[in-house]
A and B are shown apart, each in its own frame.
Chain A
Amino acid sequence: MQAIVDKEGIKRYLISLTVNGDTYTVVVKANTMLVNVLREELNLTGTKKGCETGDCGSCTVIMDGKPVNSCIILALEADGKEITTIEGVAQNGVLDKLQESFLNQTAVQCGYCTPGMILSAKALLTRNPNPTEHEIREAIAGNLCRCTGYVNIVKAIKEAAGQPVDEH
């Protein structure tokens, strides 16, 4: 990895990462977190920060197929990785079925947890298209939501998996 040292002796690294299909090259410090690269450098503010300690899941993105908390991933670790953020979920302005089902099931309130929830759910459905309710709950157990009690979020994920959903 290419590194340069600034006047104060702080090392900076040139990394390259693919976000939502596009490759970006950015200069980061050893302690720069992925979430800050996404939000500050690439202006992808759909990735939220709720705690910056890996506890809330608001900053979830998919990295090489796995959901990760981007606030505890060093930008250096993301070098050469494929990342999907919430901005990359809809394709050409067409919503993903999870985004549709979140709307249908009133699974969004304040919306702050929503990007992370959708990405955790997306990673789940990609590896397990027909999850049980328990598997759904496990998959989003690292994503805290203070508004919905997860009730409608679980329903939305079921709907996106093509499963029947009780009316209330």
Chain B
Amino acid sequence: MSENTIHNNDYAVIGKSVPRIDGREKVTGAAKYTGDLKFPNMLYGKILTSPHAHARILSIDTSEAEKLAGVKAVITHKDVPSLKYGISPARWDENIFCIDKVRFVGDKVAAVACIDEETCYKALKLIKVEYEVLPAVLDPLTAMDEGQPLVHEEYERNINTEIHQEFGDMENAFKNAHHIRKDRFVGQRTYQSPIEPHSAISMWQDGKLTIYSSTQSPHYFQYYIAREFGMKMGDVRILKTYVGGGFGGKLEPTGLEFAGAVLAKNTGRPVKMFYDRAEMFAHNRGRHAQYMEITSAVDKDGKILGCHTNFIMDGGAYTSLGIASAYYAGALLPLTYEFDNYKFDMFRVYTNLPACGAQRGHGAPQPKYAFECHLDEIARDLNIDPLEIRIRNARRPNTVTPNDFGINSCEIKSCLERAGAMSGWAEKKGKLPKGRGIGVATGSFVSGAGYPIYRTNLPHASAMIKVHEDGTAATLYTGAVDIGQGSDTVLSQMAAEAMGFVYEQMKIVAADTETTPHDFGAYASRQTLMSGAAVKQAGEEVKRQLLDMAASMLQRPVYDLDVKAGEIFSISDSSVSLSFSDAAREFFVRRGPLVGKGSYTPPKLGGKFKGAAVGTSPAYSFCAQVSEVQIDEETGVIDVLDVWDVHDCGMVINPGLLHGQVHGALFMGLGESIWEQVLFDDKGKIVNANLAEYRLPTALDMPKVHSGLIDSYEPAGPWGVKEVGEGSTNPTMGCFANAIYDAMGVRINSLPLTYEKVWRALKEKREKEQAQK
């Protein structure tokens, strides 16, 4: 793999692959995740879920369960607030426990707290729920038909979200087109599958509720829990320990926090709640299955004149984060290629299946797969090289998308050119032996959402730095959430850089709503830019105060002083020096704690139309990917040989961690491309809710990865940063589909691109060819 030069020359701490701040704890097994915690007198809790996809609850009898020795509490909807929740205020549609009916296999009905796990399972079996089974809506494509049962009575025709947006002059674009093409694609439901299962430990003390949770956003949990229980946010403390991956699946409260809070209150004891792997699948909130129709008009050079996307997505039984997924699906599509005329129609429908939410890349990866395949088809119609048609349409910096997203830095053209050069595109395209093919696709993503999930004027991120009394260490307090991506490390590097301090002496306290200042958390790839901006400001405030003290200690004007890597120096006289520690210690003696603080609120972004806020961001990442595959004609087996990934993600703070994000995104893209799919039986029950049959790629499946960077600087980000973790998920599925086409001349129009689908497509092609002879 090659790595391009990055802006690291002038910096002491950022731009370097320093080791993770939590690395040692993680390699020794000392790192504690929520499930590893134990508290004195702690109980264990489990949730009883629905065995039916759609059923009326006629009665719930908990008396037998209550009698069992070791059972300390049993709760149902009667014992909890009936206020509906969800993360999208416009569509609050979920209850802590179902009241009159259940809406999917796995819907929450009751919960128990017991002295141990085994007693929980026994107690759950003793709860008698009488159901009247109702006809279920399992097919999103017919869910909107007249006469279908309703998942939620208040939502006619099972329409959860409906979007119709039109920008520019579509009619004219299509009238003047040289070529118009329509294609249809289908995406599948996948699941984030973090390796750590969800868990939450709740406890009460003097009216205050504390919850340790495996969460991506303590703040949102705090907000929703306080709201649900009518508490002051100050009386709810949410904190995380280490989190074993999230990928969007741990962004919203589960039943575990709500039920655990009530069980802990009723028993007066800490309660640990957890999902096992099958329950994780049932809770789900993974990627929506989307049905995507795309029609584009192009000129004779393949330049896109206008595009119409017409999508349906299977939302499952609740809104979850899906309203944002629905908007993202279409809103982010015009990022990578420049065109002025765009129409986006979407229906997100309710079905009696587990709810879908935000999975890495949010609504964007499947539409991107569809569009990248569609663009290759257009290129073929016009006899243009696929790489070339992308370069011709590539977005330029300082442009505005038809849906009013302002793009600052954008090096997608260079990404494409570089990926082409690294992969040897020109030598390979059209010249590879039969069975081998090469494909290209692009991706892009927001670096943080322009608006928070609920309406609030709080800053999006804030940070505090406290230099220790003797000046030898500094602690960063941030609400940002490290779920494995490395934000604790990156933000500590940023803090040290901004203060003129050293990384090795940084400590961090993160993601605790009581001890750390507010931050919205880990979603929408926001932390490097947004939390980073707050941290930079806090560091600069420390630096200002420190240099002011140094000026008085050294009897020199403050403008002549600077500090870097723990040493204060004079700009005019190299003989003058003072250590950061000595100046910081003196500061404490004379003036008290040396503290810096910072906060970040994005500027006002986006247009004025309905839904204009979703997809806005201060900055967007861009990337291009080329992959080479080998297909076995007999069996349809797909072997991905090499992948070249080139990124424009602004200034890179920690190249090691950044490439780690690229590898992980490619891995997830590979799984979703070929194997991963949540499957249901005809009663709406998941048939592969385990890690053997829901097939994640193993170490034997991963191709060679070559990850490259384009030098870029984003004016909206601190030190020029922008995101990488999600945008890099976007190109993979389309890239592989295009490579398969190149290898075999068959287009697989639905995900996953399984061996069987390839085999069937090859068989059909052969039969057609034979018939023509």
Contacts and interface: CB of A to CB of B under 8 A. Distances in A.
A165 B699 CA distance: 17
Contact of A149 (B484, B486, B705): B705
Contacts of B28: 46, 86-87, 89-90, 95, 99
A150 B659 contact: no
Contact of B276 (A52, A113, A149): A52
Interface in A98-114: 99, 102-104, 106, 108-114
Nearest to B654: A106
A141 B19 contact: no
Interface in A148-168: 148-154, 166-168
A167 B3 contact: yes
Contact of A103 (B27, B195, B484): B27
Interface stretch (B241-249, B377-385, B573-581): B241-249
Interface string A71-99: 00000000000000111011000010001
B659 A50 contact: no
B663 A152 contact: yes
Interface string B64-102: 000000000000000000000000000000000000000
A30 interface: no
A44 B483 CA distance: 22
A110 B29 contact: no
Contact of A112 (B25, B245, B660): B245
Interface string B1-41: 11100000000000001011011111111111101101000
Interface in B236-268: 242-245, 247
A153 B25 CA distance: 17
Nearest to A85: B29
B20 A103 contact: yes
Nearest to B2: A168
A50 B36 CA distance: 12
Interface string A38-64: 010001111111111101101000000
A106 B660 contact: yes
Contact of B36 (A45, A108, A144): A45
A85 B277 CA distance: 23
Interface string B679-715: 0000000000011100011111010011100000000
B656 interface: yes
B702 A150 contact: yes
A147 interface: yes
A135 B133 CA distance: 52
Contacts of A127: none
B483 A103 contact: no
Contact of B195 (A39, A90, A141, A146): A146
Contacts of A19: none
Secondary structure call for the A interface? loop
Contact of B699 (A45, A50, A140, A168): A140
B699 to A, nearest CB: 4
Contacts of A89: 28-29
Nearest to B704: A151
Residue of A108, A114, A166 contacting most chain B CB atoms (<10 Å): A108
A53 B692 CA distance: 9
Interface centre among A44, A115, A149, A167 (most CB of B within 10 A): A149
A114 B691 contact: no
A138 B699 CA distance: 7
B668 interface: yes
A147 B659 contact: no
B139 interface: no
B196 A114 contact: no
A108 to B, nearest CB: 5
A99 B691 CA distance: 26
Nearest to A99: B27
B485 interface: yes
A110 B20 contact: no
B197 interface: yes
B692 A112 contact: no
Contacts of B666: 149
B104 interface: no
Nearest to A134: B700
A32 to B, nearest CB: 10
B30 A46 contact: yes
A137 interface: yes
A145 interface: yes
A118 interface: yes
A112 B700 contact: no
A110 B243 CA distance: 6
Nearest to A86: B29
B567 to A, nearest CB: 27
B29 A141 contact: no
Contact of B245 (A110, A140, A154): A110
A89 B192 CA distance: 31
Contacts of B707: 168
Given A103-B19, A166-B1, A112 B196 contact: yes
A5 B35 CA distance: 31
B727 to A, nearest CB: 16
A109 B36 CA distance: 18
B194 interface: yes
A48 B1 contact: no
A147 B194 CA distance: 8
A95 B484 contact: no
A53 B667 CA distance: 23
Interface in A1-56: 39, 43-53, 55-56
A52 B274 CA distance: 13
A45 B702 contact: no
Given A112-B244, A152-B660, A53 B29 contact: no
B700 A141 contact: yes
Contacts of B494: none
Contacts of B700: 137-138, 141
A137 B659 CA distance: 20
Given A45-B32, A149-B663, A150-B667, A51 B277 contact: yes
A139 to B, nearest CB: 8
B474 interface: no
Of the listed residues B24, B667, B691, B702, the one surrounded by the most CB atoms of chain A closer than 10 A to its CB is: B691
B423 to A, nearest CB: 15
A135 B97 CA distance: 49
Given A51-B691, A103-B24, A144 B663 contact: no
Given A140-B699, A148-B663, A48 B33 contact: yes
B703 to A, nearest CB: 9
B33 A112 contact: yes
B27 A53 contact: no
Contact of A50 (B23, B32, B196, B483): B196
B277 A111 contact: no
A23 to B, nearest CB: 20
B35 A49 contact: yes
B49 to A, nearest CB: 18
B195 A149 contact: no
B429 to A, nearest CB: 25
B3 A110 contact: no
B667 to A, nearest CB: 3
B403 interface: no
A43 B196 CA distance: 18
Contacts of A154: 699
6 contacts: A46-B29, A48-B33, A55-B690, A146-B194, A146-B696, A148-B660
Given A45-B29, A55-B691, A142-B698, 6 more contacts: A85-B29, A103-B19, A143-B699, A149-B670, A167-B3, A168-B1
Q: Which 9 A-B pairs have the closest CB atoms?
A: A46-B29, A110-B484, A168-B1, A112-B244, A149-B667, A111-B26, A86-B29, A149-B663, A45-B36
Interface of B: 1-3, 17, 19-20, 22-33, 35-36, 38, 192-197, 242-245, 247, 276-277, 483-486, 656-657, 659-660, 663-664, 666-668, 670, 690-692, 696-700, 702, 705-707
